[in-house]
Chains A and B, each alone.
Chain A
């Protein structure tokens, strides 16, 4: 059995005495929270990302599975209009700026900066949600016309559910940063919330590609 070793960079981990009993290890000197993979919240968030990423992947797989069932895709309707979805890609990409600012501010305990950036994220999230309404209106299909419509609405619906919940999360966190009470681990919350936002952002790019561009593939690549 090897001796316990220490993870590089995981300062200030305490060395574990390897003696035969009797030695006590005083952990009162350790910090009371940690950022990144040191925090439990980081693991919890990544767990949720793994689950929801799997849901997205399987829904996209379902999309292609259904596409492979017939000879024409979309089955009987024009592809979704490009404007609103593409606009949403741009706003999403822009949201990385306040998001990264929130993460950085939190990690240097800058309350005012974290507050500003988090509220900025929430404001952009609002814009995304409003644009999302227009996206639904310009999908050019209904969920109950055929299987194409069903899977497109479901895919966009799942992503919207994430957008909505993370917007609510961000807004609540923003308000909490304004009203208090504040303690160290709130900064960890801001940092983890930013990471989750990146997931919502990053998942939008392939979903956007599937919803808006797969129906536009040239005939040679049709199902």
Chain B
């Protein structure tokens, strides 16, 4: 055993999460938390997919009776809520939890215990919502819960309260993740990874998390005001007492439109990563790409009123929002042309991840075109609340985010598990998904133009919508089959997939420099970075970092702009307190649905758990002091 192997084994023991039940509840390694986060988010994706299947079954024929109106309202609300709040936004942060530290050459994510807490909060919020749904208390006022329908007068009972508290859970988790990921990217990059050597995917995560920081508070505020209107008699949305219903729409969409970009911008990062690897060249126009990402983020905050064109807002104001809605096509186009230039000048390797990425171009362009149409007020008024809108946002979200996400899944699966997915099954998955998706959603454009409203549990035979609806349902079945093949592929790979090796795709970024699955400390030797695509350089690194402890979770913090080594720091060890704190927080949140006093007594266990979490032990402090050196 060489000296490197001995040290590597020691490091592995230092960074590994404990075994057994204690390990399950106290794990803090970002790879463990990231895996759990991703699996949980995909589980919610499957649940919401099943709900979509039920809706398509009901709408297959006019006058169908599979589902009644009440059940249908709960199901479409749960479908939208799950897809947006429990799948699309969390899954993007989840992938970043796993991938970003590896991609930037770090041994850990920043604030690993907080990261574990954010995961538990997300999980408990989702489980609460599904528990309520199974008990027939599932929300039923649509995923954006417009007042007055969602207010106390028209939605008595607890259904909408569970929806509002689900927001509290998921947004708390999302906001904490934003802080964690920004800090990780700014302070824990390997030495030499200056900001202009940051992989484009990491840029996209950084930009997304900044957007989350400033947009998510709006939905927390609006849902808190909603639940207070419902539970303690405030009047934010009650016009009879000086409140206003449009206030809800402003606050919700001030969050809701940037939210689309929380989903879309990380997907742009997947695109850049996968296109570079399988074109065998760096992305054309690195600087233009970064500037386009940042421009998208700013413009995304000026779009929210285009969701409100059917309200009585001043027309002049609406034209401003039309202009911005069209302007955001510019940075998107910059990126698309940079990718096309990369693909044109690269040597393409047609592996499965690239298939999913190429589908983006076709589907997103269709979704983008209908988006430009909807940005025009007169057209929007015609198709508002029809299936045209349903078709539009599924093209944008599935084409713009789910296809790249599934591509990213195929891309990083070998890194996470050490096994290859089957390319044959992957191609079947891709083509069936592509066909099924278009068959499901393309007819909806036509249905919308024919006047079919969204969110109806059934429709009569007269308008002649039956055939297109049947087509759409068949498309959904094909999509379902494609995802069964996907599940089969994953199961097969885990059971007896080909070993992947460190870098099966010949990719250029740092996550491929370590073993698959990665060492518990990510990099037994932290590299000194000398380029944006290190593994494609003849000599990848300028050298390595030496002098970090092997027996403690010591990491190197670097400077924000230039990633020059700044100080060492010791990351916290596994502990059960984040889990217990999340349990206490859950009691507070769920309790407050039933009595406002829960906000008073519920804070006591939370405070106790948080203090216990932060209180240092003497043994731990002694270990830290042994390595301490004052600045």
Contact = CB atoms under 8 A, between A and B. Distances in A.
Chains A and B belong together in one complex:
yes
Interface of A: 1-2, 4-7, 10, 12-35, 37-40, 43-44, 47-48, 50-52, 54-55, 58-59, 62, 65-66, 69-70, 75, 109, 143-151, 153-154, 168, 172, 176, 180-185
B232 A18 contact: no
A143 B232 contact: yes
Given A6-B564, A29-B547, A1 B528 contact: no
Interface in B165-193: 175, 178-180, 182-183, 186-188, 191-192
Interface residues of B, number: 86
B631 A34 contact: yes
A13 B242 contact: no
A172 B544 contact: no
Nearest to B180: A44
A24 B251 contact: no
Interface string B525-552: 0001011100000111111111110000
B118 to A, nearest CB: 13
Interface string B243-278: 110010011001000000000000000000000000
Contacts of A32: 567-570, 624, 627-630
A114 to B, nearest CB: 15
A25 B564 CA distance: 11
A47 B178 contact: yes
A147 B629 contact: no
Nearest to A52: B217
B614 interface: yes
Given A66-B243, A70-B242, A27 B556 contact: yes
Contacts of A65: 244, 247, 250
Nearest to A11: B631
A23 B545 CA distance: 9
A99 to B, nearest CB: 20
B529 to A, nearest CB: 9
A182 B621 contact: yes
Nearest to A62: B247
A182 B542 CA distance: 38
Chain A, interface SS category: loop
B456 interface: no
Nearest to A172: B611
Nearest to A73: B242
A10 B175 contact: no
Contact of A40 (B221, B528, B569): B569
B110 interface: yes
A30 B187 contact: no
A14 B234 contact: no
A51 B220 CA distance: 11
B153 interface: no
Given A7-B561, A30-B556, 17 more contacts: A2-B194, A7-B559, A7-B564, A25-B543, A30-B568, A32-B624, A33-B567, A44-B111, A54-B213, A62-B221, A143-B228, A143-B232, A147-B234, A147-B243, A147-B244, A150-B228, A153-B234
Contacts of A27: 545-548, 556, 565, 568
A91 B302 CA distance: 39
Given A1-B197, A145-B241, A30 B567 contact: yes
A38 B566 contact: yes
A92 B368 CA distance: 51
B225 A47 contact: no
B405 to A, nearest CB: 25
B86 interface: no
Nearest to A142: B233
B213 A4 contact: no
A156 to B, nearest CB: 13
